[in-house]
Amino acid sequence: MNASPWKALFDRVLVLSLPASRERRVHISRHLPQVGLDEFEFFDATASDDPVVAQAFATGDVLSYPPCFRCGQLDCGSPDCNNFLLPAQVAVFLSYRRLWRTVEQGEAARVLVLEDDVHLHPHAQKVLERIAEEVAAARIPFLAGRPCLLRLGWALCQEHSQPVDSFHTSAELRMSNPCHALTREYAAALLTRDIGINHTVDVYQHSLAPEAGEAWTIFPPIASELSWTEGVFPSTIHPKAVHSEYLRTLGREEAAASNDRYVRHHVKKKYYRPLLVTGHPRCGTGYASSLCRQLGLDVGHERLGEHGISSWMFAVEADENPYALDAVARTRRAFAWHQMVMPVRDLASAVGSVVRDSIHAPPSYAFRRTHILRLLGVDLDSFATPLERALWSITSWCRIVLTQQPALVWRIEDQHENLRLFLVESGIVSSEAQNFQLDTSPVNADKLYQGVRQPKPKFDQADWRSLPAQALAEAEWYCKEFGYKMPA
């Protein structure tokens, strides 16, 4: 039985927790009885990889970027701003929706909601006694039949050290997901006022949804959490370096290093630009960047420019791109664009460059092989000759881009004017760009590898004719798709 004053104030206690979060559940099962809270239930949260999360994105239930869901702009200028809703954030919102529905449809009039990394402070029961007095005196409407929210605990700060004698209530906003209480009527109001996942759930239920007189913030707070500020548990939303620090205090260096990688690979902000150029390496992304600059656009080659980025690695989403020249270029997950264009190159000239690249730039080959295998089930290592591997690399990479429906595909040998026209008609460059003289000389054709000029392999018609039938069919598809002549 729950000890008073827990029992006096709350008819039900729900602990929101992922079923897979075993360490957190062990913590809760030990911690809550220590503070006199013996009766509680785990409420299974939705995982970020649950199909309902993908469905929420697909059906338009989630506000998409751009713009930023926080400020409504493309970019507030802060490099640390989380400006798009992550699957994990959507999963939490969906979890709370189910929880609110459970409360609305249940018999409990007043429900305490805890998250599974909560830490209840020793003064909690004394503060709850004061709340009960205020409720009895009708100064806090935490009663059946009234929509009411109590904000009881948030990230650890000096407010947690206030003496109980300083008890007071306020309308001041505190994001109190770790520890809050609500009436059945407030749960119903949250469901009625929900017009879509347009913000994080803490902002919605504590800031956007409450009407005047419905939300009460309690001082001193009775709870904090153990992941965001103290790092005892890894954050399930945004990984924190503080968790690595905590692990190192325990001598768990390998786990700390793993969390460091998680922090490095985590993307919480997207950068929007009008243009993404992507295709196979050695097939025109550097050339396209040069043409864009001549037309007045800053489209960086393997780096973020004011108007976009040109990167062969941006054909796929990866945690770490091997040749990124800035933080945004490390992963496409940090980038959003309006138009995607793909340059393509004649197979007869491209394969020699690609063979050279695969030999002298092993990370390039490994990256392509990994993602072609992942997305198409084609293993470049399974082909017998460098020519065959290069052919399949080019065609497979182009197939991957084509599935994303680029707005323009253009041949670098003779269709640079197609690119210019597309950019003008799309409004990405001004009509004045139609009159600019373009230098269409090859870019980076004699690329150095680790400072050394490497010879480009040559292949004659006999080499092409010796390819297996399936490889020749792949070459024929490519040539027909993009208007090239077969090499043999």
Tens of pLDDT, residue by residue over 334-358, are: 999 999 999 999 999 999 999 999 9
Q: Which residue has the tokens 């200028």?
A: 77
Write the pLDDT tens digit of every residue in 89-123: 999 999 999 999 999 999 999 999 999 999 999 99
Q: What is the pLDDT of residue 1?
A: 35
449 token code pair: 């590898």
pLDDT band with cut points at 50, 70 and 90 for residue 444:
confident
Write the pLDDT tens digit of every residue in 146-203: 999 999 999 999 999 999 999 999 999 999 999 999 999 999 999 999 999 999 999 9
Q: CA 259 to CA 255: how far, in whole Å?
A: 6
Q: Indicate the pairing of strand 271-277 with strand 12-17.
A: unpaired
Write the pLDDT tens digit of every residue in 281-334: 999 999 999 999 999 999 999 999 999 999 999 999 999 999 999 999 999 999
Q: What is the pLDDT of residue 280?
A: 98
Q: What is the pLDDT of residue 2?
A: 45
Helix (H, G, I), strand (E, B) or coil at 42: strand
Report DSSP state, residue 62: B
Q: Which domains are seen in the chain, by residue range?
A: 6-225 (3.90.550), 241-268 (no CATH), 271-482 (3.40.50)
Q: CA 77 to CA 271: how far, in whole Å?
A: 10
456 token code pair: 């480009």
- Cis omega before residue 281 (within 30°)? no
Statement: residue 373 has pLDDT above 50: yes
Q: What is the pLDDT of residue 442?
A: 79
Q: Which residue has the tokens 């005892």?
A: 232
The angle subtended at Cα 336 by Cα 94 and Cα 345, nearest 5°, is 135
304 token code pair: 């973020």
Residues 6+ apart with CB under 8 A from 121: 160, 221, 222, 223, 224
179 token code pair: 């520890």
Statement: residue 51 has pLDDT above 90: yes
Contact call for residues 223 and 120 (beta carbons, < 8 A): yes
Q: Which residue has the tokens 């039985």?
A: 1
Mean pLDDT of the chain: 95
Contact call for residues 217 and 206 (beta carbons, < 8 A): no
CA distances 448 to 251, 353, 361, 363, 404, Å, are: 44, 12, 10, 15, 32
Q: What is the pTM of this model?
A: 0.89
pLDDT band with cut points at 50, 70 and 90 for residue 369:
very high
**What number of residues does the chain have?**
488
CA-CA-CA-CA dihedral for 223, 227, 231, 234, to nearest 10 = 160
20 token code pair: 């897979």
Q: CA 331 to CA 171: how far, in whole Å?
A: 41
**Mean pLDDT, rounded, for 366-379:** 98
Max intra-chain CA distance, the chain: 95
For 65-79, give the secondary structure using H, E and C: CCCCCCCCCCCCCCC
Q: CA 488 to CA 478: how far, in whole Å?
A: 13
Statement: residue 228 has pLDDT above 60: yes
